[in-house]
Structure 1
Amino acid sequence: MPATQPRVYADRTFDTITQWILPFGLFAFLCGMFILPGRGPLQTLYYLLLAVPTLAALLLRPRELLATLREPIVLLVLALALWAIASVGWSDTDDSVWGLAKRPLIMLLLFPALALIARHRLEALPAVLSVAAPVTTLATGVFLVSYIAHYPADTRLVGGGAFDNPLLSAHLFGFFCVYWLHRGLGERNLPSIALCVLGALITFAAVLATGSRTPLVALSLAVTWLALVKRDKRSIGLLLAGLIAGALVFLMFHQELLSRGSSYRFDIWKIVAGLIAEHPWIGHGYDAALQIDVNIGFMLAEPHNFALGALFYLGIIGFIPWAGMQLVALWRGLQLRHQPLVVLATTWVVFGIGSGLTEGGGVFSRPNEHWYLLWLPLAWVAAVSIAHRGRGLPIVQPSVPSASDRQAIKAGKVIEADGLGAKVVQLADGSFVKLFRARGVFTSNSFYPLAQRFADNCFYLNQRGISAPTVLALWDMGGGAAAVRYRPLPGQTVRQAHAGTADAAALAHGFGAFMAQVHELGIYFRSMHLGNVLIDAQQRFALIDVADMRLLPSPIRARLRQRNLKHIHRYPEDAHWLLTTEAEAFRAGYASKAGGKAAAQLALPAA
């Protein structure tokens, strides 16, 4: 049934938020510390472009919140936040309950924000990273050049933007260094690898220039995690290269690394451990006063360790969800290690754990550098996990084809080819193999490969009543290439059916109804033409070649519907009989599923 006008406006607002505002807000937040003049503008940016739009989207569709709350990581974060708010009751803080409660509640909105992007525009996550990482790395390069040119040798790099502390700056430089290391492991062509190596070198040099030691430990842990999860030659090579680089850094800078001793960390931790022992189970309460005297002329207010901070403020009861959310995230990383976005996010989690060994200690804060070490990585893992579950996608682990599989492809019948070789091959058992080659330089394909998209889209379409091929296997062919083996659908293309039918009007009516059904389900199939739609003997329609497709949360807009028609019009013979000779039958079929108003809005291009 066609939607009412208020529902249409609500859908359009929700789509704008999830498709455009939240991805842009995530990009701005990732770059904010490098560009904005202080943390205040960063917090304002987070509220305006992430928190408020997310709240509006949840009010428009409350079921989205339920989908988010089914994720164990989110439940553990929520439990931690609620316990923190409850602990204000025995805290000696001077702030009001509401003033303190706002921090975890505002932070919690980060989880549905990323979940909304992942559920309704998953490809936006790698796309945002592909733009944000070069921007922040370019800014890092500018910071380095300015530091080398204008500062004495005994100073430490702080950087521009909102940075004001070398250790905190090192966390952000290391955050993007992890991105470049992970991305380099997934790239296959030389120019892309070179870009990743350059990005990693710039960010790693910035970490060294800050003179901070803990981020170096955190990067070592991150590289070890990558080797554990990926278990391939490249990751093992990266681990060995990391060990060599670590040894060289120590040999070249051992005096600088050791000159500051322990920075009173052991004294601080001993004092904090004693305070924890006073209230081990419930802690001293959220935002309780902490004064640490290590005889340096002033008092310290942080335990300089994330875990000790959780224990001091929230006790063992609060520490359980705090540790649990990170352990569950790492477990999800092992479960979904074939998903590059999850591997990257869990590597960030490991980097955050390493960075938190000697830094920070506040449980909740306003948006700042610590969010990149804990909340952003956790939200990222949760979001991809929620999207995976929400789309009902099975866990398809890409495998390496056996020698017999490769031989079967070579011996198969080539159905489609281009100048570079076969694209679709029919095997002896009747199944088909669609081959995907490595794409151009620095694309999001390394995070969400086309072969994986094809497989996911097939599952998604079949789940929602739109016939699509049944995926049998997902193969890593090596060298950045991949392949999907699938069971073909019976029938012939609509183009072939028209050539052999005397009832073109009935065919046009049926195709119009099918296109409207696809549009009303929020499916934007970019390659919608009569050669990519099948019809079987029972007059049921199906989609093929579904790698290039967007899955929108609402019925697609008139502009995208019109774009589908323009794509059909690129084939003059098809457009003539469908959109001219049988235009009325096509419109009537479309109206039967989408309503007369939507059908009337289909303005056909001039022939």
Structure 2
Amino acid sequence: MLYQKSWARAWLGIGLVWFLGAIALAPSNKVYQQGLVLFLWLPTLVLAWSARAVLVEAWRRQAALWGSVLLLMAWCAVSLFWSSAEEPVREAKRLVYIVVFLLAFPLLAQAGTTRIRHLLQLGSGLLAIAALISIVHFYGLQDHPLIGRLYGIGEISHPILGAYVVGCAALLLLYQLPHQRIYQLGWILALACLGAFIMLSQSRGAVLALLLTVLIAPLWLRTRYSSTLAALALVATGLTFYVAYDLISARGSSYRPEIFAAALQMIGEHPWTGLGLGASYKVFAAATEFDHTHNMFTHVAVELGWPGMLLWTAVWLFTLAEIVRARHLLLGKLLLGLWIFSTLAMQFDAASLTATPRAEWFISWLVVGLVMLLPWGRAENDACGKISGST
């Protein structure tokens, strides 16, 4: 089969690494998007026919998840009929991009979950390099004061959304300690760069989401290592509050309660239809104008109404259900942490679910896509169990 060829697996693997690392390291967003077409969208479409049995199996094993995704895409498409979006065809095309992106993951799964974890580590390592470059560029070359809020390079230039991307990379690395000492040094340096980026971005939402995830991780990881990390995180948080409380509290609540109240009012004006996919809107709160609701769920409700928000919630909950089914796998445990981090992050910012791939995809569609690897991970684990049981 074509999709089983080594070059086909390498092509898709490059696509996954490009999605992760090039968001910051690509010279421009246009190059990043073109790379995704070349390394991820194109191979998925080329290999889809030869891998049709795999895609049918993906549907069979995760019918509820795939069904909820397709229903959400269908409702998004229907909402274009009443949307004020300037380019409805472009909005519809982006929905196809999302589906093709997700179709890539059952194909990627054929390379084995160990290889996938290595690709995730590589992509996260590239983001660590991007974090280091960002720090050197911002504080060294541009000579900003150390208390200045860090703006990263590439598409991690937004302090909040960039911190979410880097937070995802940190979680994908944090609980995968390499066995070889030479790799352990690189692992420590990568985590140090990622952690420094998150702290220097001064994104309280990202820090809180990461902190809470690390604190409760021992509940499912059940290792001394995860418990030690949780204890260290708690101590570090206490010291940070003691040293930099004024800096942390200077921005107050950043109008989040007022924005949330205004968003609920907007949802109430169009509860069933929303404004339509891609419709631009402004949120007026506390005598200030905001570009979006700073919350993924309320943003979806404003655009797509209650039906759209319920469908997105269904996608997200079915994603959790698949993770729980695979909680005995290392990849399942990693994804549970990523799901919790992403859920918390969505509450503080992120208002782009169906736009072209960007930072928000790391806490939405990337998580859904990675979960679509899990059925093959469970199959691998069952096969290994049978082999060990027969020897």
Determine the structure 1 residue equivalent to 2:233: 242
| Contact preservation (8 Å) 2:112, 2:377 | no
CA distance in 2, matches of 1:188, 1:229: 22
Q: Which amino acid aligns with 2:67?
A: L
Determine the structure 1 residue equivalent to 2:71: 79
Q: Is 2:158 the partner of 1:157? A: no
| Contact preservation (8 Å) 1:51, 1:109 | yes
CA distance in 2, matches of 1:182, 1:148: 30
Determine the structure 2 residue equivalent to 1:376: 366
Q: In structure 1, the residue corresponding to 2:155 is in which secondary structure? A: coil
Q: Is 2:244 the partner of 1:253? A: yes
Aligned equivalent of 2:85, options 93, 100, 103: 93
Q: 1:17 to 1:82 in 2, by over 3 A?
A: farther
Q: Structure 2 regions of 5+ residues with no counterpart?
A: none
Q: Structure 1 regions of 5+ residues with no counterpart?
A: 1-10, 397-454, 460-469, 473-485, 488-607
Determine the structure 2 residue equivalent to 1:221: 212
Q: 1:147 to 1:124 in 2, by over 3 A?
A: same
Determine the structure 2 residue equivalent to 1:136: 127
Determine the structure 1 residue equivalent to 2:323: 333
After TM superposition, where is structure 1 displaced by more than 6 Å over at least 4 residues in a row?
Answer: none
| Contact preservation (8 Å) 1:29, 1:46 | yes
Query: Structure 1 residue 42: deviation in Å?
Result: 1.2
Aligned equivalent of 1:471, options 382, 388, 391: 388
Larger Rg: 1
Q: Which amino acid aligns with 1:55?
A: L
Q: Which structure's relative contact order is higher, taking Cα pairs within 8 Å and 6+ residues apart?
A: 2
Q: Which amino acid aligns with 2:66?
A: V
| Contact preservation (8 Å) 2:128, 2:190 | yes
TM-score by length of 1: 0.60
Q: What percentage of residue pairs aligned between the two structures are identical?
A: 24
CA distance in 2, matches of 1:118, 1:330: 19
Aligned residues between the structures: 387
Aligned equivalent of 1:233, options 219, 224, 247: 224
CA distance in 2, matches of 1:143, 1:88: 39
1:316-354 CA deviation, whole Å, 9 max, x = no partner? 222223112222222322321221122222322221111
1:490-548 CA deviation, whole Å, 9 max, x = no partner? xxxxxxxxxxxxxxxxxxxxxxxxxxxxxxxxxxxxxxxxxxxxxxxxxxxxxxxxxxx
Higher strand share: 1
CA distance in 2, matches of 1:87, 1:252: 50
Q: In structure 2, the residue corresponding to 1:102 is in which secondary structure? A: helix
Determine the structure 2 residue equivalent to 1:283: 274
Query: Structure 1 residue 196: deviation in Å?
Result: 3.5
Alignment of 1:410-421 (within 5 A): none
TM-score by length of 2: 0.90
CA distance in 2, matches of 1:57, 1:330: 28
Query: Structure 1 residue 193: deviation in Å?
Result: 5.0
CA distance in 2, matches of 1:300, 1:284: 16
Determine the structure 1 residue equivalent to 2:348: 358
Determine the structure 1 residue equivalent to 2:163: 170
CA distance in 2, matches of 1:270, 1:321: 22
Determine the structure 2 residue equivalent to 1:209: 200
Determine the structure 1 residue equivalent to 2:117: 126
| Contact preservation (8 Å) 2:163, 2:203 | yes
Q: In structure 1, the residue corresponding to 2:388 is in which secondary structure? A: strand
CA distance in 1, matches of 2:5, 2:67: 26
Query: Structure 1 residue 243: deviation in Å?
Result: 1.5
Q: Which amino acid aligns with 2:217?
A: L
CA RMSD of aligned residues (A): 2.4
Determine the structure 2 residue equivalent to 1:312: 302
Higher helix share: 2
Q: In structure 1, the residue corresponding to 2:5 is in which secondary structure? A: helix
